[in-house]
Amino acid sequence: MTVPKQKHTKSKRNRRRSHLALKAVGLSVCPKCGKEFLAHAVCPNCGYYKGKMVVDVLEKLTKKEKKARQKEMKAQEKAGGKKESPATPSTMEELAKEQ
């Protein structure tokens, strides 16, 4: 086995390891519920992705947990977690009223 000719100093070793440090995770805020989640992924709290329901989060919960979660989601929507702009109509009736 080979042996190094010279000692590697602490600074040399630490500079080499500088890229091994942990980096902060890039989190996004869900426009529906306001909770943070990983970018480009389904929100684990409400099950929405890009404004569309992808996963029914309440499906796997027990009856008691489901009721508590529904109550929590309603409270968040009333508090302002839901951020929809009133300028864009969401239904055909609203679109017809504008014209």
Q: pTM (2 decimals)?
A: 0.47
Rounded to whole angstroms, the Cα distance separating 79 from 77 reads 5
Q: Cβ neighbours of residue 55 under 8 Å, at least 6 residues apart? A: 42, 47
Mean pLDDT value across residues 32-61:
85
Residue 97: CA atoms inside 13 Å, Cβ hemisphere, count?
Answer: 8
Question: Per-residue pLDDT for 20 more than 80?
Answer: yes
DSSP state letter for 9:
P
pLDDT in tens, 24-43: 888 989 888 888 999 898 98
Query: Per-residue pLDDT averaged across 73-86, rounded?
Result: 67
pLDDT grade for 18, boundaries at 50, 70 and 90:
very high
